[in-house]
Amino acid sequence: MNSGRPIVMAGAGSIGCFVGGMLAAGGHRVALLARSRVIGEIAAHGLRLTSFDGFDRTIAASALSLSDDPSIFKDAAVVLVTVKSADTAGMADTFASHAPDDAIIVSLQNGIGNVATLRERLGGRRVLGAMVPFNVVALGEGRFHRSTSGDIYVEQDAALTAERVSVPDLKMRATGNIVGVQWGKLIVNLNNALNALSGLPLREQLAQRAWRVLFADQMAEGLAAIRAEGISPVSPTPIPPAWMPPLLRLPDGIFGLLLGRTMHIDPAARSSMWEDLQRGRRTEIDYLQGVITAIADRHGLKAPLSRRVVGLIRQAEAAGQGSPALTPAQVRP
């Protein structure tokens, strides 16, 4: 970007720190609104970015603006939103008070309703949807590791925001159908809860046919629900959404070959919901399986597996003991 104004990460947790760091590494001026714990780690160790593909770079704390004060938004050119969905409305009010009227707000969040919430609370400001396909694991001491592959998709706009923000090591691609892309990501993200309930690394979980069949059944429920809404999802992978459930049910060897050709999953990869349970944080289950059950209710669909998963995640949240390490049979209704 050539304005000299920063890109500000709103809620710099795992995704926010990784994306913000990569943009800084690519030459952008970057500011992070983060918790004091994260600021302390980066101040002490720098912001270290690693990836499944061997990328390893440390950004000096002095190369970033770090703060837990919302005044950090005061001269933002672009704000990339990475807070949890439940915090979107509150963050929007913060933007209204502190960010310039011409700042472009881009939601990099999971879930479907965040862009609508931001637009509703920010009046005529420019708000764009986006989709982050990869996982990031916080490894401590300021290190954030990208453990799965994929490029970020950003809603196409006249200002060419995706092209202006994109850097060689973190591609941002413009799309004219961000709604379809976000619904496609939601369907894939239904595995976040299953991974959290399993307690297994993502690659190990997906290597087991019993877990994949459970995931396939979750996807089938989700696809039936969103078809009832008249929505056509766009897959975040090269595999069309309708093909995913039958492919997940394939024998282990065949599925392993297919997965290796479509995306990379690092042995360290875990879902963000697993991390939330481990850290005793509120999960985004209401914005994933909860969306599917709400649609099912509107259309008289049963969605028993989605309802079961919502209940199990809420039990795990209440217990505060991290992942319950369930088996696929224990997850089934």
**CATH number of the domain where residue 92 is located:** 3.40.50.720
Q: What counts of helices (H) and strands (E) characterise the chain?
A: 14, 12
pLDDT band at 288 (very low <50, low <70, confident <90, very high): very high
Residue 244 lies in a domain: yes
Residue 249 lies in a domain: yes
Residue 17 lies in a domain: yes
Q: How far is CA 71 from CA 199, 314, 319, in A?
A: 39, 35, 37
Predicted confidence at residue 261, as pLDDT, reads: 63
Residues 118 and 234 in one domain: no
Please identify, among 114, 143, 176, the residue that sits at the C-terminal boundary of a domain.
Answer: 176
Domain count for the chain = 2
CA distance 303 to 305: 6
Query: For 120-130, what is the mean pLDDT?
Result: 95
Residues 28 and 106 in one domain: yes
Q: Residue 229: is its pLDDT beyond 90?
A: yes
Residues 161 and 199 in one domain: no
CA distance 148 to 133: 8
Residue 27 backbone zone (phi > 0: left; psi -120 to 50: alpha; other: beta): left
Residues 153 and 191 in one domain: no
CB neighbours of residue 247 within 10 Å: 16
Residues 88 and 214 in one domain: no
Burial of 199 (C-beta count, 10 Å sphere; 0-12/13-18/19+): middle
SS3 332: coil
Predicted confidence at residue 313, as pLDDT, reads: 98
Residues 216 and 99 in one domain: no
CA distance 6 to 240: 37
Among 68-82, 177-191, 211-225, 251-265, name the one with the lowest average pLDDT. 251-265
Residues 251 and 124 in one domain: no
Q: Residue 3: is its pLDDT beyond 60?
A: no
Q: Residue 181: is its pLDDT beyond 50?
A: yes
Q: Residue 329: is its pLDDT beyond 90?
A: yes
Write out the H or E segment, with its range, that includes residue 9.
Answer: strand 7-10
- The whole domain housing 289 covers 179-331
Please identify, among 148, 176, 204, the residue that sits at the C-terminal boundary of a domain.
Answer: 176
Residue 1 lies in a domain: no
Backbone angles phi, psi at 282, to 5 degrees: -65, 135
Burial of 54 (C-beta count, 10 Å sphere; 0-12/13-18/19+): exposed
Residues 188 and 304 in one domain: yes
Q: Residue 1: is its pLDDT beyond 80?
A: no
Predicted confidence at residue 153, as pLDDT, reads: 97
CA distance 193 to 328: 12
pLDDT band at 2 (very low <50, low <70, confident <90, very high): very low
Predicted confidence at residue 260, as pLDDT, reads: 59
CB neighbours of residue 44 within 10 Å: 10
Query: For 186-204, what is the mean pLDDT?
Result: 96
Residue 2 lies in a domain: no
Residues 70 and 36 in one domain: yes
Predicted confidence at residue 235, as pLDDT, reads: 87
CATH number at residue 206: 1.10.1040.10
